[in-house]
Chains A and B, each alone.
Chain A
Amino acid sequence: MSAPAAEYGRVPALLAQHRPRHGEPAFRALVILASLTVLAVIAGLVVVIARESLRGIAYNGPAFLWGTTWDPVHSVFGALPFIYGTILTSVSALVLAMLIGVGVALFLAELAPRWLAGPVGFMVEMLAAIPSVVYGLWGIFVLAPWIRDYVEVPLHDTLGFLPFFTGNPIGIGNLEAVVVLTIMVLPTVAAVSRDVVAAVPLSQREAALALGATRWETIRLGVFPYARSGIIGAGILGLARGIGETMAVTMVIGNAPTISLSLFSQGYTMASVIANEFTEATTDLYRSSLIEIGLLLLIVTLLINAAARLLVWRVAYGASARNVLA
């Protein structure tokens, strides 16, 4: 602890000797420029998407938000099935990925021996490097028949009276989209959570252990409160991945704009309908309505992000408030 202090003392002297002071404003300008670039890109994106969707907004009106029919032939455009599909698949996938991902993170950071933690962590991160079209192909050719024969058909035969298990189980549909998305979101959640858990100071665990806590109690009392906001942050990143995912979902969800509680039903997401129909949208109104879906996707993402941030803030604030009280 004494070495850095000594270094601190020497730094201003070094600067004074070798460097004129105008490096500082230049650096400042550079980083400000870098942040402004991001802002400019987002602003440009929003302006262009909004402008291009004006025609659709004028024609479709507010009913675009709750309309359930998407009929390009008769120019009837309602986006509700896509909003429903996007939220259903990404939120379900997030919940599943959080359960598995936080488990993976705790195992890797707290329990696993070092020789195992390295390879397993690497494998989890590798999941993120697989192109989504590969997940899609795997979903169609491997997972779909398996889910149909070993999950959907048995569920349909035994619990088919529940609204969640009605319909024609063909493998492709909401359930499979959720499973594929879960696998795609998992590495983000697991890797970030692992780093967050690993960053919890040792003194937290030592304090809990000193009080006679078991391993689970140590994690619950010492690690979780500290890592909670970071883990929720991992969830936000994962959700963003899930909402925007296009290719893999398009290949496995069945692309039918229906609103159904059934896991076996085919569904549709906002990103998928844009990917499917944009290239062959031959009229201006049709194209503009698709861009309007893009605008809506941007807004939904923004709202979900804001909600999640509010959650982080409340959790972090609530935790520190409790700590103070305790």
Chain B
Amino acid sequence: MAIDLRARWGALAVIAAVTFGACSASVGSSSAPAGAGGGNAPAASVAAPASAVDYSSVSPSTTIGKNDKAEVTGAGSTAIYPWLSAVAQIYQQQVAPGVAVNYQAIGSGGGIAQFQAKTVDFGASDIYLSDAQEQQIGVPVLNVPMIHWAAAMTYNLPGFTGEVRFSPATIAGIYLGKITNWNDPALAADNPGVKLPNLGITVAHRSDGSGTTMNFTSFLSDTSPAWKSTVGAGLSVNWPVGAGGKGSAGVTALVKQTPGAIGYVELSYALQNNLPVGLVKNAAGNFIKPTLASTTAAVAAAVPNAPADLRFLIVNPPASSPNAYPIGASTWVLLYKDYPASKATEVKAMIDFLWWAIHNGQSYAAQVDYSAMAPDLVTKVEAVLKSVTVGGQPVLP
């Protein structure tokens, strides 16, 4: 019995590793969802910040002293975990040794449920809260975008070494089951001068609920009326065709095993595994390769139209940004607008950490193959963080 139990726990550990590894980049070798601020190694693998954006104009405040002790608890999205655990670790080591961020990467659904039940200081979700969800919580809440990534189209075309270009209509046609061969005229029109093989298309998608699916299907809904009316957008959808793989790793396995297969995976996963990725046509009419920079460009393009509550997606950004990749994604941190006075220490520590994370912390995004926020969005997020209160008193000056 003892051996049996141990085997089960071992299996659980492997499953945990697969799940979290699959959903996103892994930080260091630690795969435990708990104790992001509590001990082992992510910081070791994160080198000095290589900042893509200039944050010198802003200064992280430290509203709490270095000697204060606080444990901030959060739960939710697995996508944000690699970056959040890395910045929490660095924050504890370099800024506030007494502040530990305990983040449980249990998935967006679990994060929202715990946030609704008020058992955590913050939640994290790959989709902002709907009006109905906010009403259900009963107190005012804030949706704070924190980090960005993208969904990359990957494929298996034996003997083909070029880059395949996809227009949104073609991707929708493939995922609706209307385009079934790589030599389809629609694909030929997207790829002038390139000869794609006469090979059946096998569609692969995520079987688990995922922010990547959410943004991929939002992109298709935005660009294809047929997709919008039949399938729609969500963390899990009713796929018209194709096979489902668990996590980015599962989708990649399906694609790699099957000649002619196409799938979408998290950009960080594609970058770390050197997968072939396709170029996708944006609203400006350019075919854009998914990169950290082209994703940040999508954030910048979407921000001017973003509502004040920051509940907006960065898919299919307007044509004003010619270099924006159109299938970008975000993860939000969920906060209550007002926390009870008894929570003052934790909330001050949390807000200070988040403030640091939207400034200095963005520099570490590239280390885990995530995209930093656009500077315009940082300014908007600052305003949201400043609106948080404890017992009615603002936390930040």
Contacts and interface: CB of A to CB of B under 8 A. Distances in A.
A320 interface: no
Given A131-B10, A266-B243, A276-B244, A73 B258 contact: no
A141 B249 CA distance: 12
Contacts of A256: 239, 242-244
Nearest to A139: B253
A287 to B, nearest CB: 7
The interface size bin for chain B is: 35 or more
Contact of A283 (B133, B200, B207, B245): B133
Interface of B: 3, 7, 10-11, 14-15, 18, 78, 106-110, 112-113, 125-127, 130, 132-133, 136, 200, 202, 207-211, 217, 231-239, 242-246, 250, 253-254, 257-258, 261
A204 interface: no
A131 B211 CA distance: 28
In this complex, the member of B18, B211, B237, B253 whose beta carbon has the largest number of chain A beta carbons within 10 angstroms is B253
Nearest to A76: B238
B207 A250 contact: yes
A300 B383 CA distance: 53
Given A140-B250, A275-B246, A284-B136, 19 more contacts: A73-B233, A133-B11, A133-B15, A141-B253, A170-B243, A171-B258, A173-B243, A250-B246, A255-B207, A276-B207, A279-B106, A279-B107, A279-B109, A279-B110, A282-B108, A282-B127, A282-B209, A283-B130, A287-B113
A225 interface: no
B244 A266 contact: yes
Interface residues of A, number: 42
Interface stretch (A5-13, A64-72, A187-195, A304-312): A64-72
A71 B231 CA distance: 8
Contacts of A266: 242-244
A272 B126 CA distance: 22
7 contacts: A131-B14, A170-B202, A255-B245, A256-B242, A278-B209, A279-B208, A282-B125
A144 B200 contact: no
Given A129-B7, A171-B258, A280-B208, A287 B18 contact: no
A239 to B, nearest CB: 20
Interface of A: 69-74, 76, 129, 131-134, 140-141, 144-145, 168, 170-173, 247, 250-251, 254-257, 266, 272, 275-284, 286-287
A256 B246 CA distance: 12
B236 A69 contact: no
Contact of B11 (A76, A132, A277, A286): A132
Contacts of A250: 207, 246
A73 B125 CA distance: 17
A281 B209 contact: yes
B109 A278 contact: yes
B234 A73 contact: yes
Contacts of A131: 7, 10-11, 14
B207 A70 contact: no
A73 B209 contact: no
Contacts of A278: 107, 109, 209
A254 B243 CA distance: 5
Nearest to B213: A280
Contacts of B242: 256, 266
B15 A73 contact: no
